[in-house]
Amino acid sequence: MILRGQYLNGLHTVEVKIDIDTLLGSDGSMSRGQFIVNNEKLKSFRKETLIERDKRFCEKPIQVMIKKDIRDKLTPLEFTLNYQLLNRLPQFCSNCPHLIDTSTISETIPFETGCGDDGVCVSDVTMSLFLANKTSKLGSLIEGFHSSVYLIIALNNAGENAHAAKITLTVEPPLKTSFESITFYETNDTSLTLNLDVGNFLG
């Protein structure tokens, strides 16, 4: 960045603040990344820097850690830098140094989605489900013979990547069930609802 202003003398202290993932909120609660400074994880990076007129100043590289298992890969990762002069004067004066340009700089970095140059994912996801026992697919149930069966859910994507895919399955009436890999479900007197997080379902 280049600072331009009025009544600037030779030396000034500038406060710089960098936030990550500002497209998802300014407070950092939904951020998909963090700054690593002195082995500490930070939602934002702040620093006061003394700059000199007509001199270039370079900050050391700042490490950014991207969190694991990110669901939203369609929203780019945005970095926003804000800066201001720290005058530290007791009161405002008519010839106080001040900036005349914008004090905010933003830069976005998209995630690789595998969805072509347009960045738009056009998926073609189909789902099939069937009952099976331990050895084969079942075409029908025989009362008194099949005491337990498996519900098999199969997904197929013939298009581009389907990011952040979810499945909601409702069983009526609610049967007695046990789950090996499903942890999110709701049940009542009339139905059983399963919420399945498929994640980033690739082609």
Q: Render pLDDT for 140-180 as a digit per residue (tens, 0 to 9).
A: 766 667 667 777 778 888 888 887 777 787 777 656 655 55
- Provide the token pair at 23: 């497209």
- Predicted local confidence at residue 203, as pLDDT: 43
Q: With respect to residue 40, please indicate whether it lies within any of the assigned structural domains.
A: yes
Q: With respect to residue 134, please indicate whether it lies within any of the assigned structural domains.
A: yes
CATH of the domain at 16: 2.60.40.1460
76 and 41 inside one domain: yes
Residue that is last in its domain, among 109, 138, 171:
109
Q: In what order do the strands lie in the sheet with 162-171?
A: 162-171, 192-201, 185-187
Query: Does residue 199 come out as left (phi exceeding 0), alpha (psi in the -120 to 50 range) or beta?
Result: left
Residue that is last in its domain, among 109, 144, 171:
109
Q: With respect to residue 119, please indicate whether it lies within any of the assigned structural domains.
A: no
- Predicted local confidence at residue 175, as pLDDT: 61
Which residues lie below 8 Å from residue 109, measured CB to CB, with a gap of 6+?
Answer: 76, 77, 78, 79
Contact between 57 and 73 under an 8 Å Cβ cutoff? The reply is no
Q: With respect to residue 117, please indicate whether it lies within any of the assigned structural domains.
A: no
* Containing structural domain, residue 42: 5-109
- Provide the token pair at 80: 């926003």
CA distances from 63 to 20, 51, 147, 173 (A): 12, 23, 56, 53
Contact between 174 and 189 under an 8 Å Cβ cutoff? The reply is yes
Q: pLDDT of 11-61, one tens digit each?
A: 778 888 999 998 887 676 788 999 999 889 998 999 888 877 777 777 788
Q: With respect to residue 115, please indicate whether it lies within any of the assigned structural domains.
A: no
91 and 53 inside one domain: yes
CA distances from 114 to 122, 160, 163 (A): 11, 7, 10
Q: With respect to residue 186, please indicate whether it lies within any of the assigned structural domains.
A: yes
Residue that is last in its domain, among 80, 109, 138:
109
| Mean pLDDT computed over 88-94 | 64
pLDDT at 89 over 70: no
16 and 105 inside one domain: yes
- Provide the token pair at 137: 């697919």
28 and 91 inside one domain: yes
Q: With respect to residue 48, please indicate whether it lies within any of the assigned structural domains.
A: yes
Report the domain count for the chain: 2
100 and 138 inside one domain: no
66 and 159 inside one domain: no
What radius of gyration, in Å, describes the C-alpha atoms of the chain?
Answer: 28
> Residue 200: which pLDDT band, with cuts at 50, 70 and 90?
low
How far apart (Å, rounded) are the C-alpha atoms in residues 161 and 114? 7
138 and 174 inside one domain: yes
pLDDT at 71 over 80: no
Q: pLDDT of 98-119, one tens digit each?
A: 677 668 889 999 888 778 777 7
Q: With respect to residue 120, please indicate whether it lies within any of the assigned structural domains.
A: no
